Structure 1
Amino acid sequence: MSLKNDFKTFINNLEPTNISDMETTVGEIAKKLNNYYYDLTGDTSSHIYIVGSVGRTTAIKGVSDLDILFDLPNSKYKQYDDYEGNGQSALLQEVKNVLKGRYPNTDMSGDGQVVVIKFSNYTVELVPGFKQSDDRFKYPDTNDGGKWKFTDPLPEIDESKTTADDTDGNFRYIANMLRSWKNKQGFKFGGLLIDTLTYNFLNNNVEYRNVGFDSYLDMTKELFKYLKDLNKDQSYWYALGSNQQVYNCDNGKFITKAKNAYKKIENLTEESSNINKELRKLFGSKFPKKATTEARASYSYNFSKSYSDTEQFIEDMFQVDIRYSLNIDCKVTQDGFTPKFLSYILRNNMYLQPKKSLEFFITDIDNQIKGKYDIYWKVKNEGQVAKNRNCIRGQIKKYNTVKLHESTDFKGEHYVECYIVQNGICIAMDRLDVPISNYKYIMG
């Protein structure tokens, strides 16, 4: 299969499968709110807007958040603007209680700026707002005693759809690829920022606006080159269509990740024997796995023994929609030596030696994660010795602990990944590669 077809298959694999179900849910919510606030019976479409990545048609398979906005009567604004106390909070509670009549057994809350409805495989975030004469929406913010804010999603939706049409779908495809990259690498990268930077990339590199899949490798290189050269300290960019300020994510971590991505693929060509393997490392298992003769080659030249491929992938076990940050590190100890952190070792280009004790642990987890969640860990050994000993590992296991103990025992490579899973969705993850010494020792 050519790389052109691999990219086409990759894009097809990212197509979301739950949009129809989401649209049905939106209709039910609209019907309930239209009946209560406008005395409209059975109306499933008036006054309601699908916004966010689903509204901009840039969501991918596994999308777990559905953002919608409902336009309330202006009389409700006056009522809660004159409210004694936090009128914004009271408004959210009213809308939540109305929807409780439709979903009495569903986990629901009203706080901050949204009413949150948690279904089994996605979460609805409903913003009750008031449409203005300029098509912006005024909406409640319950923080700091309550206030009103403005949002302008409609021109963002229009510009996304127009740009997708004008670029033969490339705007949508590239935004999809960046979401898949974000989920595979495990870092926070907001959807509106992704779409805005995709829009900017195509406007700054017009030669890629209407390319076909046969040019996608070159386009991907230029995309990561564009992202890596952005200013990590920039506070915000202006959103496509609306020119609203869309803020930097996680101190510009996406720029550091883009630098790493570009370094891995800048010298690859379609003829490179490892091209699919490297692209799968970037984008995940939705990118096709190229058939190889690795087993025969290993036997002929390395006389390797057979081994069991026990590796598991998080995207095959759960929906993956990385929305929060997670950071892990490792304390490296050995009798008679001062303990060191793996982050320090990596920063100083040092190497691990054998017979080390490794304590992996979560250093930081996003405080915006609310409610219960599970913690999974994965330990993966790579290299010929791991295959010879039939010990590549790679299983994903639920430990529900913030620490994981391992050791460096034999020759090869390894990495560790940690995942936060909530309601069947992987919402945060981090990965730590262990440096390889001249002796190439790894965990057993």
Structure 2
Amino acid sequence: MALSDDFKIFCNRIQLDDLADMQKTTESIAKKLNSHYYGLDKESESHMYIVGSVGRKTAISGSSDLDLLFDMPSCIFKQYDNYKSNGQSALLQDVKSVLLERYSNTNISGDGQVVVIEFNKYTVELVPGFKQSDNRFKYPDTHDGGSWKITDPLSEQSECSDCNSKSFGIYYDFCHIVRSWKNTIGFKFGGLLIDTLVYNFFKDNDDFKDSSSDNYLDILKSLYKSFKNENPNQNYWLAVGSNQHVLNSNKGEFVKKAEKAYETLSDMDDSSFGINDALIDLLGSDFPKAEETVNKSARYSTVDENHNKGFNREDFIEQLVPVDIRYYLHIDCKVTQDGWRPFSLRDMLHNRYALLAHNKRLDFYIKETDCPKPYNIWWKVRNVGPEAIRRNMIRGNIMESNSEHRYEHTDFAGPHYVECYLIKNGVCVAKDRIDVPIGE
């Protein structure tokens, strides 16, 4: 099977798969708010807008957020704008109380700029806004005593749709592909920034506008090259369509990740040996293996190459829970041995020291994250290589430990690795990996 066919299968697999359910939720919320604020019974469409990645049609399977904007009556703005102090907070609390009448058993909070409704499958972030004559929206911000700000999601949606039409569907595909890359590698990369940078790429590269899936590998390599040439210290980018500021919230980590991805693919073409494996490592297990038959169930196998089950199986996080990386997570490992000074495995890898020797104690731990608690902590320890196969110790199962530490030993040679996942509301929202090279 040609690589172009593999890209087609992959793009189909990562399509947003619960849009119908999100639309039902949106209609239910709109019905309640229209009834309360407009006196419109059974009106489930008026005044409600699906915004964010779902509204721009760039969200993928596993997306954990549904962003909504409800256009409030102008009299409500006057009411809360006349507050002496933080009418914006009072507005959010009022909307929250109305929604609690409909979802009394659901966790609902109102703070910052949104009302948050935590459903089992995803979280709704609802912004109460006021539509202006230019189709932009004024919305509340409770910080620093309260203020009104402006957002322009309809222009963003329109420009994304126009770019997709001009590229014959390629724009949406690559917004989806970049999200899958972000989730697979495990780093923070905001959805609007992704859509903006992919938009800028196609705007600056007219030679790709008539491309097809036959050119997807070349486009992906060029896109990584574009990303790696961005300034990681840039404060903000101008959002697609709206030209509003999209802040650089994670020190431009995507630049470093793109540089590594580009190095992986730069010398490869459609016929290169191992190209599918390289793309699986970058984009996730939804990308077909070489010569894989079109059988979606095949990607859910948890049996290793020796067909061993149980302790030796390898689990993949995307097959256990939805993956939508929204926070950063950094893990490290303290290496100790009697008679030796402890050291950081990250420092060793950074300085390109020799392989780890046997009989060392390994304390893997969460060093830093911006993910707010509560969350569950899962770990994966993967042993690979000839010695792991000989000992029947491939490993790779995911363990729901809820501990910030994972203790191991350097028992035998091989290119092992450890991954950590943070699970919040049933979604993997942060992940990190550290290689564990053990010598003979």
CA offsets per residue over residues 373-417 of structure 1, 9 Å max, x none?
110000111111111221111100111111111111112111110
- The one-letter amino acid paired with 2:21 is D
SS in 2 for 1:11: helix
CA offsets per residue over residues 63-96 of structure 1, 9 Å max, x none?
1100010111111111111113321111001001
Name the count of aligned residue pairs: 424
Task: Please name the residue that 1:349 is paired with.
Answer: 352
Q: 1:242 Cα shift? A: 0.7
- The one-letter amino acid paired with 1:383 is G
Q: 1:179 Cα shift? A: 0.3
Match of 1:323 among 321, 326, 342: 326
Matched, 1:332 2:308: no
Between the aligned partners of 2:268 and 2:411, the Cα distance in structure 1 is 33
CA offsets per residue over residues 216-243 of structure 1, 9 Å max, x none?
1111111111111111101111111111
TM-score if structure 2 supplies the norm length? 0.94
RMSD of Structure 2 on Structure 1 (CA): 1.4
Between the aligned partners of 2:189 and 2:389, the Cα distance in structure 1 is 36
8 Å CA contact retained: 1:378, 1:397: yes
Between the aligned partners of 1:192 and 1:226, the Cα distance in structure 2 is 17
- Residue correspondence of structure 1 range 36-55 to structure 2 within 5 A: 36-55=36-55
Task: Please name the residue that 1:127 is paired with.
Answer: 127
8 Å CA contact retained: 1:374, 1:420: yes
Task: Please name the residue that 2:410 is paired with.
Answer: 408
SS in 2 for 1:416: strand
8 Å CA contact retained: 2:73, 2:130: yes
CA offsets per residue over residues 20-76 of structure 1, 9 Å max, x none?
110111111111111111111211111111100000000101111000101111111
Q: 1:248 Cα shift? A: 1.3
- Residue correspondence of structure 1 range 57-68 to structure 2 within 5 A: 57-68=57-68
8 Å CA contact retained: 1:307, 1:387: no
SS in 1 for 2:411: strand
Between the aligned partners of 1:333 and 1:87, the Cα distance in structure 2 is 56
SS in 1 for 2:412: strand
CA offsets per residue over residues 335-369 of structure 1, 9 Å max, x none?
222111011111211122222211110001115x2
- Residue correspondence of structure 1 range 260-339 to structure 2 within 5 A: 260-291=260-291, 306=306, 308=308, 310-339=313-342
Q: 1:290 Cα shift? A: 2.1
Q: 1:144 Cα shift? A: 1.5
- The one-letter amino acid paired with 1:429 is K
- Residue correspondence of structure 1 range 170-185 to structure 2 within 5 A: 170-185=170-185
8 Å CA contact retained: 2:413, 2:437: no
8 Å CA contact retained: 2:382, 2:396: yes
Q: 1:103 Cα shift? A: 1.1
Q: 1:435 Cα shift? A: 3.8
Between the aligned partners of 1:393 and 1:84, the Cα distance in structure 2 is 62
- Structure 1 window deviating more from structure 2 (107-116 vs 282-291): it is 282-291
Task: Please name the residue that 2:362 is paired with.
Answer: 358
Task: Please name the residue that 1:236 is paired with.
Answer: 236
SS in 2 for 1:434: strand
Between the aligned partners of 1:331 and 1:206, the Cα distance in structure 2 is 50
8 Å CA contact retained: 1:170, 1:210: no
Same amino acid, percent of matched pairs:
53
Regions of 4+ moved over 4 Å: none
CA offsets per residue over residues 410-438 of structure 1, 9 Å max, x none?
121111100001121111111111245xx
8 Å CA contact retained: 2:418, 2:433: yes
- Structure 1 window deviating more from structure 2 (26-35 vs 52-61): it is 26-35
Q: 1:211 to 1:249 in 2, by over 3 A?
A: farther
Q: 1:249 Cα shift? A: 3.2
- The one-letter amino acid paired with 2:134 is D
- The one-letter amino acid paired with 1:312 is D
CA offsets per residue over residues 246-267 of structure 1, 9 Å max, x none?
1113101111111111111111
Between the aligned partners of 2:236 and 2:84, the Cα distance in structure 1 is 35
Gaps spanning 5+ residues in structure 1: where? 293-304
Task: Please name the residue that 2:108 is paired with.
Answer: 108
Task: Please name the residue that 2:427 is paired with.
Answer: 425
TM-score if structure 1 supplies the norm length? 0.93
- The one-letter amino acid paired with 1:204 is D
Task: Please name the residue that 2:381 is paired with.
Answer: 379
8 Å CA contact retained: 2:88, 2:146: yes
Q: 1:307 Cα shift? A: 5.9
SS in 2 for 1:101: helix
Between the aligned partners of 1:331 and 1:64, the Cα distance in structure 2 is 33
- Structure 1 window deviating more from structure 2 (204-213 vs 224-233): it is 204-213
- Residue correspondence of structure 1 range 121-270 to structure 2 within 5 A: 121-270=121-270
8 Å CA contact retained: 1:307, 1:390: no
8 Å CA contact retained: 2:414, 2:437: no
